[in-house]
């Protein structure tokens, strides 16, 4: 560990007053520093709820003798269709995966549609059919919904919100506060594919080998990881908007531990690597939609890795880093040549509207 300079804790507790005349910027939707500021300044300080303040992928609520997980996401991806998925599959997998990250077995989804006047109905049908396929794949039902229509020019075809509920099995204990120094950081495969796939079709970029979104349901993979690792699986997070760097940074801040990632161990497909070099993007900050980052007790890490590799969504799973004693909330990347650099939150917007 290097000796880093003292700096304020990155946890979100003290809202900074908003400058007069401030307005929403695209970066507020990035998942990076502006998103966190908005969260702290506007949402956490106003709603002031202890469960919301944990900043997990979903909330955990006691219902009778069960623990219920509740999660929501709105989807504004542009364009609606991209290699490997569309806004419909994304809207189902996104919320299903958030429930999985709470250790829950997803049960049911709600679906709220905001349609722009003029959207072709066959486009809507195609998206809804894709949602249904994704729901069947994930073993959840779409049980309730809502549709609103806004005038032409007040939307962008179609926005979808999904919210989901799931039940956390009694034996599962997954939460940032279970992180321990020494925990291994695992991921189930190569990073950055979703973001680059959406970007490629939006910007009309053609790469030598086409890049396909990793959009997928993690229900089965996570169940196998939990079966293999038991209570040794401490923390789960899907590195969506903001990528692996943001997910690990947020977890480290929330768990008040440090993390060191090993660049060489992080799987990145050649095509994504090439596209990122060309576009000046850092794959560590590019969104994934079928990836899980797990913090696992060192005694169970190999067993969980083996379970991941035995699953179709985990063939390239790897141990990519380790939780350290601190400083709390600091994430370091050990480069291929052995140097260490601090991984920070993005301050602006790298790729707008990729989910």
Scan residues 220-279 and list those touching its own copies (CB under 8 A).
none
Binding to its own copies (CB under 8 A) within 141-160 occurs at 141-151, 153-156, 159
Report the residue number, 131 or 331, with the smaller CB distance to its own copies.
131
* Contact status: 59 vs its own copies (CB under 8 A): yes
Q: Which residues pair with 108 in a beta bridge?
A: 141, 165
Q: Please report how close the Cβ of residue 283 comes to its own copies at its closest, in angstroms.
A: 22
Distance between CA 342 and CA 248 in Å, rounded? 12
Report the residue number, 28 or 311, with the smaller CB distance to its own copies.
28
Contact 261, 149 (CB under 8 A): no
* Contact status: 107 vs its own copies (CB under 8 A): yes
In DSSP notation, 48-68 reads --TTGGG--SSEEEEETTEEE
Q: Please report how close the Cβ of residue 207 comes to its own copies at its closest, in angstroms.
A: 25
Q: Please report how close the Cβ of residue 142 comes to its own copies at its closest, in angstroms.
A: 5
Other Cβ atoms less than 10 A from the Cβ of 280: the count is: 7
Report the residue number, 42 or 268, with the smaller CB distance to its own copies.
42
Distance between CA 191 and CA 80 in Å, rounded? 21
Kind of pairing between the strands at 331-334 and 340-343: antiparallel
Binds its own copies (CB under 8 A): choice among 1, 2, 4, 52 = 52
Q: Phi and psi dihedrals of 323, rounded to 5?
A: -80, 140
Write out the H or E segment, with its range, that includes residue 225: helix 219-229
* Contact status: 173 vs its own copies (CB under 8 A): no
Q: Residue 314 corresponds to which tokens in the numbers above? A: 């985990």
Q: Please report how close the Cβ of residue 70 comes to its own copies at its closest, in angstroms.
A: 6
Binds its own copies (CB under 8 A): choice among 5, 65, 312, 338 = 65
Q: Residue 274 corresponds to which tokens in the numbers above? A: 């090439």
DSSP letter at 42 equals I
Distance between CA 111 and CA 122 in Å, rounded? 18
Q: Please report how close the Cβ of residue 186 comes to its own copies at its closest, in angstroms.
A: 25
Q: Please report how close the Cβ of residue 170 comes to its own copies at its closest, in angstroms.
A: 11
* Contact status: 64 vs its own copies (CB under 8 A): yes
Binds its own copies (CB under 8 A): choice among 110, 230, 268, 328 = 110
Q: Please report how close the Cβ of residue 345 comes to its own copies at its closest, in angstroms.
A: 15
Report the residue number, 73 or 322, with the smaller CB distance to its own copies.
73
Report the residue number, 39 or 201, with the smaller CB distance to its own copies.
39
Other Cβ atoms less than 10 A from the Cβ of 252: the count is: 27
Task: Give the residue among 58, 15, 55 at the shortest CA–CA distance from 31.
Answer: 55
| The 258-262 sheet, strands edge to edge | 233-237, 293-296, 184-187, 318-324, 258-262, 331-334, 340-343
Q: How many residues bind its own copies (CB under 8 A)?
A: 84
* Contact status: 201 vs its own copies (CB under 8 A): no
Binds its own copies (CB under 8 A): choice among 2, 7, 49, 210 = 49
Contact segment (CB under 8 A) with its own copies among 64-72, 231-239, 271-279, 320-328 equals 64-72
* Contact status: 137 vs its own copies (CB under 8 A): no
């Amino acid at each position: 560990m290097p000796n880093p300079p003292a700096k304020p804790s990155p946890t979100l507790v003290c809202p900074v007053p908003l400058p007069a005349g401030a307005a929403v910027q695209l970066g507020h939707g990035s998942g990076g520093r502006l998103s966190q500021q908005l969260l702290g300044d506007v949402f956490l300080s106003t709603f002031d709820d202890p469960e919301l303040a944990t900043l997990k992928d979903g909330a955990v609520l006691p219902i009778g003798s069960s623990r219920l997980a509740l999660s929501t996401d709105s989807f504004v991806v542009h364009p609606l269709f991209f290699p490997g998925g569309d806004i419909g599959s994304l809207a189902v997998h996104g919320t299903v995966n958030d429930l999985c990250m709470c250790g829950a077995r997803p049960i049911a989804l709600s679906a709220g549609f905001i349609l722009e006047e003029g959207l072709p109905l066959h486009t809507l049908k195609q998206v809804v059919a894709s949602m249904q396929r994704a729901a069947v794949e994930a073993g959840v039902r779409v049980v309730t919904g809502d549709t609103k229509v806004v005038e032409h020019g007040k939307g962008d075809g179609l926005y979808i919100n999904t919210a989901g509920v799931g039940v956390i099995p009694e034996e599962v204990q997954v939460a940032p506060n279970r992180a321990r120094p020494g925990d291994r950081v695992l991921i189930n495969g190569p990073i950055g594919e979703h973001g680059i796939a959406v970007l490629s079709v939006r910007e009309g970029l053609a790469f030598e080998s086409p890049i396909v979104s990793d959009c997928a349901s993690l229900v089965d993979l996570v169940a196998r990881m939990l079966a293999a690792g038991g209570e040794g699986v401490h923390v789960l997070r899907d590195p969506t908007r903001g990528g692996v760097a943001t997910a690990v940074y947020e977890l480290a801040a929330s768990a008040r531990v440090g993390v060191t990632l090993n660049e060489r161990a992080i799987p990145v497909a050649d095509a994504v690597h090439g596209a990122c070099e060309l576009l000046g993007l850092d794959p560590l900050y590019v969104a994934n939609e079928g990836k899980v980052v797990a913090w696992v007790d060192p005694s169970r890490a190999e067993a969980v890795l083996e379970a991941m590799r035995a699953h179709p969504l985990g063939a390239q799973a790897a141990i990519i880093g380790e939780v350290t004693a601190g400083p709390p909330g600091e994430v370091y990347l050990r480069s291929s040549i052995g140097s260490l650099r601090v991984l920070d939150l993005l301050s602006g917007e790298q790729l707008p509207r990729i989910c």
